[in-house]
Each structure stands twice: as structure tokens, then as C-alpha cells.
Structure 1
Amino acid sequence: MATNESIVSRRARYAAGPVRRLRMLGPTLSHSPWVLVTFFVLVSVCAGAGIFIWPDRVPWGVYGLIVVAAGLFLEPRFLLVVYIGLFLSMAILGAYLGSAKTTTAGAQVVTVATMALMMWLSHARAQVGVVGVSGESMLVDMRDRLRAQGELPPLPAPWGAEVALESAYGDGFAGDFVVASRSTDGRTLEIALVDVSGKGREAGTRSLLLSGALGGLLGEMSQGGFLQSANNHLLRLRWGEGFATAVHVAVDLESGDFTIGYAGHPAGVQFAAGSGRWRMLEGGRGPLLGVIEQADFPREHGTIRHGDALVLYSDGVIEARDKALVDGIDRMLGRAESFIRTGFEGLAQRLCDQAAAGLGDDRAVVVIWRG
């Protein structure tokens, strides 16, 4: 099976990031805040001693560094203790050194302003129950879990599949996500591509919530009942701010037969090796998820023969403000036609990169092929 290159490359890119390296540090230090308070007080004393001994060499800016570092790791009540000590130390030193240390008043104003900013940031983190870098680490974990659910299971030869996900303007979260499952007997592959209303970070939390629920439904419901169950789930959530579209496909890996259904989602396309042409799979149309109760979601049936491929995509791949939707579809198929001359591997990422919406919208492409 082809490698899911877009997700693998992101994991390699983020794995060595500073937030991930500090991932376990925040929770550990949060259990011993007075140790941190003592540490920052000692560092402040050392900084003050350095300014006292070498007033022309050690700048006031060293206090700013301590202010930011303490703000990253301490919750408000402990942070206030450190900041009071820092302010008193700076005020006493400034009064004692006088003209021997210039720009004292300006440095004090900047330091106090930085303290106020870090106090606000610390208070905001405390309201959601995170301290230090644990909040960023939690977001990294949420993002990785969302992307991990989109990883496709291993497929037997001659089958291959890829998924590519790109968020608007390179944000870590996107409104598009993929969930996939393979039956316990290994015969059936099910994939759902979902597009939550909104884009980027504003849709990221809803994507995470919905992906977990739909991932649990996938494989547990009948092929024809998946979209109905997903619709019922969104209705129970009572989202006031949006809805979702989805396309769900179930493929029999032995015969190549498949069924596909849509919930307000753009129609998938199938490449037929025999004719060398692309065909729109426009049957099986249903309404948006989370809008209509007891909605009907019909299915279209087809067969993936040797050399054929099936492409699913989100609206960001074909929609552009200055173009009609049909033009976007023609553009995508034209790109696909030129890419498949070297095989289907890598097609998903290439179509994402060449999307009509560019970087301004979330984009997702799933390609399934039979060699």
C-alpha cells in the first residue's frame, strides 16, 4: 500500500518541535509550584546582583526574560509572588544606582506591561485548567489524534489508497477530516470524508469532536446506515454554529464492488482504465448532516476493476470565488489526468497542492485504486 505521505511528513516535522520536547515538563512542574517560585526568585536575585555589580554591562532586559519565563510555567497566584519580588528588586536597584544605570524608568514601564500581559495569559490558561506548556501540548495531541484517525489501514495487493489533508493557511486544525476502517475479516474497507462548516482553527474543535464519534460508528453500522446515524448524532449535538457534509464509501476488496453515499458533499469521481475516462458518481445524494431529521441517504453502486481508481475530495479542492463549480471539477480532472500517467501514487497530495481554493480553504483528497 502507498504511504500516507502528507500525514507522515507532518508528524516528522512536528515531532522535534519545542512544544513536544517540553510535553512532559509542564505537568511535572505544575505539581511543585513552590520549587519553581524559589527558582525564579533565585534567578531574580542573581540578575539583580549582576546589574548591581556590572550596571554598564547587564541590561534591564534580563528582568523581562524572567517575567516571560515565569509567566509560561506558573499559575496566577504563584506568578504574582514572583512579579512582586521582581518589581521591588528593580525599583530598589533603580533608586540605588541612579545615574549609574540609564533608562530605568522606561525599562520599568516595559517590564510592568510585560507582567500584565503574562498575568492575563496565565489567568486565561488557568481558566481552562492548563499550566505552562501543557496547554500547547494538549493542542498538539488533539491535532495528532485527529490526523491519526485519518490514517488508512493496510490494504492487500493489488489495492492502494492515500489521503492528503491540508488546512486553510497552514493552520494546525482543519474542518476537513477522514475516518477509515477495515472489517475484522479484512474484506471491506470503509472511508468517510467529512467537511465541517467553517475552516481552519474555527472548525478544528468540532472536527475533533465529530471525528471521534464517526470513527466509532464506522464499521459498526451497516453501510447504508452510516450517514443516517451520523446525521442523528449531529442533530443530538444541536450545533447552533454549523453543519457538516460527508461522503462515505464501502469497498469490497475481493470483488471490487463498492457503494457510495453523500450528505451534501461534492460527488466523487471514478477513473475507468478500460476507457481511460473519468466518471462522476452523482447518485446517492442526501442532505447535509445535522439539518433534517429522519433524512434519507440513498447509495450508488459500482465496481472498481483492475487499473481503476476512486477519488473523493472536499469542496476546497474544486471551489473558487471567481469560477463556477463545474469549472473547478473540470480543472481537478484535468490535473488528475496529467498526474495519473505515472500512476496513482501521490495523486492525493498533488490534487491538494493544485486545489482551486489555494491556501484559503481546507482541502482533503482520498484516492483508492486497484492495480
Structure 2
Amino acid sequence: MAAPQRFASLRQPWQSRHALLAIPVVLILVITVVDIRSPPDVHLGPALVIAPAITASFAGPRLTGFIGVLALAAQAIIGVFHGGLTTTNHIVQLITLAVLSVLVVFFSAVRERRSRQLAQVRSVAEAAQHVLLWPLPDRIGPLQVASLYLAAEDEAQIGGDLYAATRTEHGTRVMIGDVRGKGLPAIGEAALLLGAFREAAHQHTTLPKLAAGLEQSVARYMADFEPEDEAGERFATALLLEIPDEDPITRLTSCGHPPPLLLRPGEAVTVLVHPAPPLGVGRTGPEDYTLDEFSFEPGDTLLLYTDGVIEARDPAGGFYPFTERTAQWTDASPETLLHHIRRDLLAHAGGHLDDDAALIAIRRTTAPHPSRRHGGSSMAADSAPTPQQANK
């Protein structure tokens, strides 16, 4: 961010607070003038306590204390014009106003302290969430990529949904998944699955073997940390993809996850998959997972999503018509596509989702993009087995 922009961002809150400060100041002046010009039996001075009370709603303890002092000065001026400061009535009013102003300043200080603590907690939480769910780059090899996450939990950026991508020697591997539940427990399980994928994606030559490796990681976690009263109820769906750089195809293994949409000009088609059970349901080997393969030509877009998208309901209870709505934007870039979906989805759901939702849009470009080779890659796309060989 440039220096003028940073300065402008700092000035804006300062200017808004000082603009609002005119409200209690004007209120003090009006009450003072009206009280002085009113008959002796009319006392508007006690209403001055409204000024510091209003100030505390938008300013800190210092400005609130300043307004409290102004209110006390105004009360003293009123007393001078109505019988003098030594009268019992004015002394009681001054003491009462002073006590109430001190209390307002005290509560303003407590609120400001808690606000700072909350801001620190949010900052740490956001940093932890960004470390857990790394943002996907705009381009991975010959692929244009965009991602979107909508968390159901208030003040959260992520929940139980997850996605990750990693470069291999001849292509890209992508995972999108959904851990049962939401909130902190789901985030912990999502972290486990993301860490396991980032490591295992470079150790297994086929997606069925990768799925089996992830199942073993989840099973070990469940055995060690799953509460007894939730035995058998914790699991995660996952969709594993392998996109070679040179071949216009995509290989896919589904672990109970919704199938992706394949977008081509004017149409959105659901990819046919043969799903296996979700991860964590039972110990399985590579032979229990199917490797599906389909055409993924330059210009095509793959749209991966979690069930929080297709299960979003409108106020009348109707599900979001995901495929029909998405077919309107098949020519859009990945980033623009997700922008349209986000706006349309939230409008359908009334501005708030009941479940976490994640989406990834992947478009193969018309020409291969020079990719950066990462050391430690173990997958060779040109030697990957056919679906029939993978299930033998």
C-alpha cells in the first residue's frame, strides 16, 4: 500500500470520530443556552449527562472525559445565571453530573480495552487461518486458478471446508474437501487433512494410492483424538484431481465428495464419477478407489465445490440451482466466475450461509505455461495407469 493510501486510511476513522464529536458539543451548547433563557423553576442542566453518554458510543475515554468536563463547565455556567453555584440544588447537580461522567469514562475505558483485546485475537486467528488454508496462486503451470471461501461461522474466514494444490513433475494435483461439522473442531481436522495431502501428494504415484494414504492419516487421527461419544461420526469427503501439463485430460478420485462441473461455452456439465466412501469411515486400500478420467481441453473450466454451495437454501427452503446458474457464466474467467457465483449464492441465501462453502475454478489455457519444477516430486503423469490398471 502506498504512503498516501496508508495516510488516508488512518485519517478516515479520525475524521469520522471528530465529525461525530460535534453532536455532543452542540447538544451542550443548546442545553446551556435554553436553560439560561428559561424561567428559574425550569432545570435542564441534568440533561447534560446525555453528552458524555453519547460520546462513549463512538469515542474513547479521553474524548469522553473531555466532553464530560465541558458538560460540568456548562452546568457551572447555568448555576451562575440561576442563583449562584453555592445553592444546594446546583451543588447536587454538579456532583451528580461529575459522578455519572466518571462512570461513563470508566466504562468507555473498559470497552476500549476489550476492543483492543478482541482485535488482537482476531489478528492472530486470521494469521492462523491464512497459514492453514494457503491462498491458491492465480496460475499453476498451464492453469488459471481462482478460489473462494465463505465461512458459516461469524468472524471466521475458514471452517471445515478445505482446498489445496501442489505442483508435481508433470502436472498439478488438487484437493477439495469437507470435514463433517463446523467451528474449531472442524478446523483442526481440516488442518490434519491439508497437511497429509501436501506431503502425500508427492509420495504416491496414483490418485487411488493417494486416497488410501489420506485414509490412513485420518484413521490414525481418529484413533488418537476422536471422542468416544462421536465414534464413527467424524469423517471428511474429498475430491482428488490430477491435471497433466501436456495431456488435455483430468484424472479424478472421489471420496464421497460432490462431482465437479465441467464448463464449456454455453454449457455446464456434471462430471460422471464413481465415488468411494468418505475418508475416516473405514480402513481401505487403493483397490477401493476408482480413477476416473475425462477430457479437459484448452479453454475448458473445472468448477470444484463443497456441499455448502448446493445445499444453500432461500427463505422458502429451495436449494440453490447451482448448475443452472453457473451455465450463465461459462465464458467468464475463473476469478469473474467465482465473483458472479458468490454474489448470486449470497443473494439466494439471504446474505448468510448455514454451512461453510468453498469453490475452486480451474481453466486450462490455450498454450502450456512454463511451470516451476519443485524438488521432491514423485508423480509422473505420462506413466500414470489407466482406470482399469488402477483398480487391479
Smaller-chain TM-score range? Answer: 0.5 to 0.7
Tell me what 1:166 maps to.
150
1:154 counterpart = 2:154: no
Cα separation, partners in 2 of 1:113 and 1:319, compared to 1, 3 Å: same
Tell me what 1:10 maps to.
none
Contact 1:352 1:365 in 2 (8 A): no
1:179 aligned residue (149, 164, 168): 164
1:141 counterpart = 2:127: yes
Tell me what 2:218 maps to.
234
Q: Which amino acid aligns with 1:193?
A: I
Q: What is the deviation of 1:167?
A: 1.4
Contact 2:263 2:327 in 1 (8 A): no
Contact 1:252 1:258 in 2 (8 A): yes
Q: Which amino acid aligns with 2:157?
A: F
Tell me what 1:336 maps to.
326
Q: What is the deviation of 1:181?
A: 0.4
Q: Which amino acid aligns with 2:259?
A: A
Contact 1:270 1:279 in 2 (8 A): yes
Gaps spanning 5+ residues in structure 2: where? 1-7, 11-47, 63-90, 367-392
Tell me what 1:193 maps to.
176
Q: What is the deviation of 1:173?
A: 3.2
Deviations 1:36-70 (A, max 9, x none): xxxxxxxxxxxxxxxxxxxx9997999x949xxxx
The TM-score, its normalising length taken from structure 2, stands at: 0.56
Q: What is the deviation of 1:225?
A: 2.0
Q: What is the deviation of 1:137?
A: 3.1
Asked which structure has the greater CA Rg, the reply is 2
Q: What is the deviation of 1:300?
A: 0.6
Contact 1:174 1:207 in 2 (8 A): no
> In structure 2, what is the Cα distance between the partners aligned to 1:290 and 1:17?
47
Tell me what 2:69 maps to.
none
Aligned alpha-carbon RMSD (Å):
4.3
Percent identity of the aligned residues? 23
Contact 1:200 1:362 in 2 (8 A): no
Cα separation, partners in 2 of 1:314 and 1:106, compared to 1, 3 Å: same
Residue correspondence of structure 1 range 322-333 to structure 2 within 5 A: 331-333=321-323
> In structure 1, what is the Cα distance between the partners aligned to 2:333 and 2:104?
59
Contact 2:61 2:106 in 1 (8 A): no
Gaps spanning 5+ residues in structure 1: where? 1-15, 19-55, 67-96, 122-130
> In structure 2, what is the Cα distance between the partners aligned to 1:136 and 1:191?
29
Deviations 1:216-273 (A, max 9, x none): 3333333222222222222212234532111111100111222111111111122356
> In structure 2, what is the Cα distance between the partners aligned to 1:59 and 1:304?
65
1:285 aligned counterpart, secondary structure? coil
> In structure 2, what is the Cα distance between the partners aligned to 1:165 and 1:290?
24
> In structure 1, what is the Cα distance between the partners aligned to 2:108 and 2:264?
63
1:261 aligned counterpart, secondary structure? strand
Contact 1:259 1:302 in 2 (8 A): yes
Residue correspondence of structure 1 range 23-172 to structure 2 within 5 A: 65=61, 100-102=94-96, 134-147=120-133, 149-152=134-137, 154-157=139-142, 159-168=143-152, 171-172=155-156
Tell me what 2:195 maps to.
212
1:227 aligned counterpart, secondary structure? helix
1:303 counterpart = 2:295: yes
2:210 aligned counterpart, secondary structure? helix
Tell me what 2:385 maps to.
none
Cα separation, partners in 2 of 1:138 and 1:322, compared to 1, 3 Å: closer
Contact 2:264 2:330 in 1 (8 A): no
1:319 counterpart = 2:311: yes
Contact 2:129 2:158 in 1 (8 A): no
Tell me what 1:349 maps to.
339
